Amino acid sequence: MTLHPFRLTPQYHERIWGGTRFKQDDKKIGEAWIVHEDNVILDGDHSGLALKQLAASHAVELLGARTLDRTGKRFPLLIKLLDPADWLSLQVHPNDEQAKQLEGKDQFGKTEAWHILEADPNAQLIAGLKANTSAEALRQTIRDGTIFEHVQYLSVNQSDTIFIRAGTIHALGPGLFLYEIQQTSDLTYRVFDWDRPQTNVRVLHIEKSLAVADPSAIGQASRQPQVNDGEVKTLVRCEYFALDLIGGESKSISLNTRGESFHALTIREGVARVEGDGWSQTLQRLETVIIPASCGAYRVHPQGKYLALKASVE
């Protein structure tokens, strides 16, 4: 059976650091979860189902052989748009083994990558610690609340990509708007929260942070590669996901899931029409379509100049 592509209904999450880009009743929306296992399918034959329900009933057709081999029937990625108007907490995520030890055998770790969609002048983020920070210094500064004095600040620009492997202490700063791809996990251990008051739902996780933080782990900003008309360029490849940048103005691009992994295609700029055997979707800026693994070959046709991000399981 071949599944046709479909869109998902985003989930909007209010955050203390959130901005106003998403325009949800004047709330501080920090995150729009645009691809997640709990998102509801918006259109097509399976509209109204949660993505995880479709994965359970049509695992091979939706996820593909490679994905099933890696992570079973669970949808393996979480993709977000983030709008920070203030600093997020300094935080760290566990790897797969640590997640199972600390949270349960059904848990995934959280390796992620950020692609900057917009950046104010002088926008910064934190991605790791200063060089030569020892494990002992890391432990001490996490416990006494001075870890912020030892972090590495990165100045970033529109179109930069930053890979954050599990164990990296990190934080997003204000003046950014970004696309985030990660493993399906929301395990976040707060190391330091800029002296915000702790609440029942917003606490520090000192002992767990100490268990998973790696003082040698840092993130670096990669500049966007040159993308010519009709080209696909790699932004990130790791054992959990691949993120590619697609560009065009007049030339169409041929892509193929090959039955190995679904593709999640998000328009970064412009408009594009995506079509395959018996289906077609036209996407505007920041719209996303899920292309099931069973779709095989398809094409992306520019409707003027566009850029798109393609996420899959590598």
Q: Which of 191, 13, 175 is nearest to 90 (CA)?
A: 191
Distance CA 99, CA 244 (A): 27
* C-alpha closest to that of 96 among 212, 236, 179: 212
Centre a 10 Å sphere on the Cβ of residue 206 and count the other Cβ atoms it contains: 16
Q: Whose structure tokens read 């692609």?
A: 115
Measured distance CA(8)–CA(38) in Å, rounded: 10
Report the sign of the C-alpha dihedral through residues 103, 104, 106, 109, in that order: positive
* Active-site residue (options: 7, 15, 165, 190): 190
15 is catalytic: no
Helix (H) or strand (E) holding 101: helix 96-103
Q: What are phi and psi of 199, to 5 degrees?
A: -130, 180
Structure tokens at 156: 């970033």
Cβ burial of 80 (10 Å; 0-12, 13-18, 19+) is: buried
> Are residues 134 and 213 in contact, defined by beta-carbon separation less than 8 angstroms?
no
Residue listed under structure tokens 């360029």: 233
Chain-centre distance for alpha carbon 269: 18
Residues with a catalytic annotation lie at 190
